[in-house]
Structure 1
Amino acid sequence: MTTTEVTHKVKLVDGKFTAMEAKEVINSLIDEKINFHKIHRLALCEGDVNTDTTFDDSRVGQLMREKEDFREIYLEAKRAGKQVRIHGTLEIEIID
């Protein structure tokens, strides 16, 4: 698989947030990706319950672990009364 140059960037999140705001932003993004993979898995299984859903299954598990890992960061910021800075840029490439 050969990649080409980044053709587009989407600045999804960029800013400082209270701990609670950061929790809402991060959890919403992760939840959206979890739902994407659950729906994709369901679509794959329609008509063939033996379809390989290993990738989607592993991504859901990975994203749930990421969500739990972020919980520790959120709690630390909340306890310390600090803000959280989040940078989130999607880089989009056209590939072969």
Structure 2
Amino acid sequence: MNTSKEVMHKVQLVDGIFTASEASDIVSNLIGEKINFHKLHRLSMSEGNINSDTGYDDSRVVELTAERKEFKELCREARLMGKKIKINGILEIEIID
């Protein structure tokens, strides 16, 4: 069981108000990086062992792809309404057991 310690570090990754197009680019690129991470992790796990359990990475790629699609739709709606999008993205980093 992982026991969480106090938050050791916070990174303000994104903070601002953006046009729908800018927000779409920012979030799509962040999600794309996570998708690539999971694809590479899946590949490294299965290298030399075709029977590796890559289920977690597989499911995360599917989830993240769906999230990116949903966010693009939100951006499309904001663009049509002439609205901007506020994004506040903080990474909380902890040391765990």
TM-score normalised over the length of structure 1? 0.98
Give the % identical residues: 56
Tell me the amino acid that sits aligned with residue 54 of structure 1.
Answer: G
1:51 maps onto 2:43 in alignment: no
Q: Which deviations, in whole Å up to 9, do the C-alpha atoms of 1:26-48 show, x marking residues without a partner?
A: 00000000000000000001100
1:40 maps to 41
1:72 maps to 73
| Structure 2 unpaired stretches of 5+ | none
Cα deviation for residue 63 of structure 1 reads 0.1
Tell me the amino acid that sits aligned with residue 91 of structure 1.
Answer: E
2:4 maps to 3
Cα deviation for residue 71 of structure 1 reads 1.5
| Structure 1 unpaired stretches of 5+ | none
1:17 maps onto 2:18 in alignment: yes
Distance (whole Å) between structure 1 residues aligned to residue 38 and residue 61 of structure 2: 7
Alignment partner of 1:52: what SS?
A: coil
2:29 maps to 28
TM-score normalised over the length of structure 2? 0.97
Alignment partner of 1:39: what SS?
A: helix
Alignment partner of 1:88: what SS?
A: strand
2:93 maps to 92
Runs of 4+ in 1 over 4 A off after TM superposition: none
Cα deviation for residue 82 of structure 1 reads 0.8
Cα deviation for residue 72 of structure 1 reads 1.6
Distance (whole Å) between structure 1 residues aligned to residue 72 and residue 22 of structure 2: 13
How many residues are matched?
Answer: 96
Alignment partner of 1:51: what SS?
A: coil
